[in-house]
């Protein structure tokens, strides 16, 4: 029997019981669109987070203090631990120690209350060096960034974020105007270009001052050379892992610790992306898994209906057998019917998934990313579910003895 006839007969059989076929498809349809939406949502979130992490800077390595747990599991208090110093930063800037490092920016930050002639505002105050601009990939929109000379002389100058600028100085250019941070007077010399808000903080609401000025006039820490984070940038993406190793080895040596009880941690953008990806990946898997259960239920629905269909059509099966249909032909007939049910459900489910994605994206402000491979996979899966669900009913139909089938009323 030709395939075209098999398919024609299957479609005729489904068409003869239109309402039932539609309801059966609904199970597959809902399952497929639910899986597509949840996985699409997960992928969208992943892309968004990755993009945000990448916008932090290029080839960035971050060294931050960490507490050792070697002394009986006791953890030191919070982020106030200051195990990193400007000496560490100076050492890492040495081309002999870390040849693959392009720029080093020791950074300290605190929350500061700002006051201009008209308003008060609270923002993050960052003390750092000119290399910060390179490492964090920030540019100055108006005015200029502070120079190494100003760091050396601990000048009271500040570069402010675009949002801080509008909050603090409602009218006119902020460059050249003065304001105070925690009561200390500073002059604005530049305004940063907007960077957009990142996952954890608003990069446009910030005040950047020379590290030395920060240490002498703003820091609460007793140690003048302490820094909270060292940002570094590698020469290029290829040597990033080498740079990572150089930083780690140099710091372990200078801190005289082994990697198991290191008082700092080194991470790269890639590792941050990896962490974020694994978190969203688990989430996607979880949601997708729940949605897949609905798909499974849809498959059981197909099997159920196919079984009903076989017992309803016993007479038809008997006649077809009497006229020369072999068991294999009958089996194929019912398998094709089930596969078509699955495929139609899958197709409509995909359309629904795309529609849902288009509606959801602006509604929840998150990208629902549905890829072409995922769509093809969804279609293959729905046909597969139809086939698997059809195996048992089709085998039952194929096994019917023609005389029993013809006899039944």
Partner 1 sequence: MLNMTGVRKTYATGSVEVEALRGIDLHVEQGEYIAVMGPSGSGKSTLMHIIGCLDVPTSGTYTLDGVDVSAMTEKQLAEVRNQKIGFVFQQFNLLASLTALRNVELPMIYAGVPAHERRERAMSALTKVGLADRIEHRPGELSGGQQQRVSVARALVTNPTLILADEPTGNLDSHSTREILELFEELNDAGRTIVMITHELDVAERAKKMSHIYDGLLIDEVPTHGAAK
Give the interface with partner 1 as residue ranges (CB under 8 A): 1-2, 5, 12-13, 16, 315-316, 319-329, 401-403, 406
Q: Which is nearer to partner 1, 190 or 318 (CB)?
A: 318
Q: Which is nearer to partner 1, 358 or 401 (CB)?
A: 401
Smallest separation, CB 369 to partner 1 (Å): 44
Smallest separation, CB 3 to partner 1 (Å): 12
Please list, in sequence order, all residues whose beta carbon lies within 8 angstroms of the beta carbon of residue 2, skipping any fewer than 6 positions away: none
Query: Would you say 160 and 168 are in contact if contact means Cβ atoms under 8 Å apart?
Result: yes
Q: Which is nearer to partner 1, 103 or 325 (CB)?
A: 325
- For residue 197, give the DSSP letter: B
Q: Report the run of H or E that residue 64 belongs to, with start and end.
A: strand 60-65
Smallest separation, CB 329 to partner 1 (Å): 7
Q: Which is nearer to partner 1, 14 or 211 (CB)?
A: 14
Smallest separation, CB 382 to partner 1 (Å): 26
Question: DSSP assignment of 333-351, as one string?
Answer: HHHHHHHHHHHHHHHHHHH
Query: Would you say 393 and 303 are in contact if contact means Cβ atoms under 8 Å apart?
Result: yes
Q: Which is nearer to partner 1, 248 or 313 (CB)?
A: 313
Instruction: Give the CA distances from residue 256 to residues 75, 251, 319, 399, in Å, rounded to whole numbers and listed in that order.
Output: 20, 8, 88, 78
Q: Which is nearer to partner 1, 248 or 331 (CB)?
A: 331
- Rounded Cα distance between 192 and 162, Å, is 6
Smallest separation, CB 15 to partner 1 (Å): 9
Smallest separation, CB 4 to partner 1 (Å): 8
DSSP E strands, 184-325: 184-192, 206-210, 226-227, 229-234, 264-268
Smallest separation, CB 326 to partner 1 (Å): 4
Which of 254, 216, 243, 218 has the alpha carbon at shortest distance from 84? 254
* 267 φ, ψ (degrees, to nearest 5): -135, 155
Q: Which is nearer to partner 1, 248 or 321 (CB)?
A: 321
Tell how far CA 254 is from the center of its chain.
36
Q: Which is nearer to partner 1, 217 or 321 (CB)?
A: 321
Classify burial at 367, counting beta carbons within 10 Å of its beta carbon; exposed 0-12, middle 13-18, buried 19 or more: middle
- Radius of gyration of the chain from Cα atoms? 33
Which of 94, 129, 103 has the alpha carbon at shortest distance from 215? 129
Smallest separation, CB 376 to partner 1 (Å): 32
**Tokens standing for 286?**
């979880």
- Rounded Cα distance between 341 and 32, Å, is 13
Q: Which is nearer to partner 1, 279 or 403 (CB)?
A: 403
Smallest separation, CB 277 to partner 1 (Å): 54
């Amino acid at each position: 029997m030709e395939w075209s006839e098999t398919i024609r007969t299957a479609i005729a059989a489904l068409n003869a019981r239109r309402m039932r076929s539609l309801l059966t498809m609904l199970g597959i349809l809902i399952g497929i669109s639910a899986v597509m939406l949840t996985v699409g949502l997960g992928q969208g979130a992943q892309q968004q987070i990755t993009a945000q992490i990448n916008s932090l800077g290029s080839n960035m390595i971050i060294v931050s203090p960490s507490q050792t747990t070697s002394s009986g599991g006791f953890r030191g208090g919070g982020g106030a631990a200051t195990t990193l110093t400007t000496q560490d930063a100076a050492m890492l800037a040495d081309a002999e120690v870390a040849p693959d490092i392009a720029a080093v920016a020791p950074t300290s930050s605190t929350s500061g209350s700002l006051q201009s002639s008209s308003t008060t505002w609270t923002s993050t105050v960052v003390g750092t060096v000119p290399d910060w601009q390179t490492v964090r990939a920030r540019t100055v929109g108006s005015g200029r960034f502070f120079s190494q000379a100003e760091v050396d002389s601990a000048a009271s100058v500040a570069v402010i974020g675009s949002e801080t600028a509008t909050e603090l100085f409602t009218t006119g250019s902020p460059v050249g105007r003065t304001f105070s941070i925690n009561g200390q007077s500073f002059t604005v010399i530049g305004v940063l270009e907007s960077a957009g808000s990142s996952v954890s903080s608003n990069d446009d609401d910030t005040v950047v001052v020379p590290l030395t000025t920060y240490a002498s006039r703003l820091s609460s820490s007793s140690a003048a050379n302490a820094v909270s984070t060292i940002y570094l940038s590698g020469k290029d993406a290829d040597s990033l892992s080498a740079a990572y190793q150089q930083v780690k080895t140099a710091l372990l040596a200078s801190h005289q610790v082994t990697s198991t009880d290191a008082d700092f941690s080194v991470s790269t953008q890639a590792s941050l992306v990896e962490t974020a990806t694994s978190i969203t990946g688990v989430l996607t898997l979880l949601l997708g898994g729940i949605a897949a259960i609905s798909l499974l239920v849809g498959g059981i629905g197909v099997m159920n209906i196919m079984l009903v269909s076989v017992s309803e059509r016993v007479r038809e099966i008997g006649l077809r057998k009497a006229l020369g249909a072999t068991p294999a032909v009958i089996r194929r007939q019912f398998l094709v019917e089930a596969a078509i049910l699955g495929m139609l459900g899958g197709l409509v489910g995909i359309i629904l998934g795309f529609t849902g994605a288009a509606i959801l994206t602006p509604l929840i402000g998150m990208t629902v990313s549905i890829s072409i491979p995922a769509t093809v996979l969804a279609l293959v899966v729905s046909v597969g579910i139809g086939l698997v669900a059809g195996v048992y009913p089709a085998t039952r139909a194929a096994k019917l003895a023609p005389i029993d089938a013809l006899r039944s009323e």
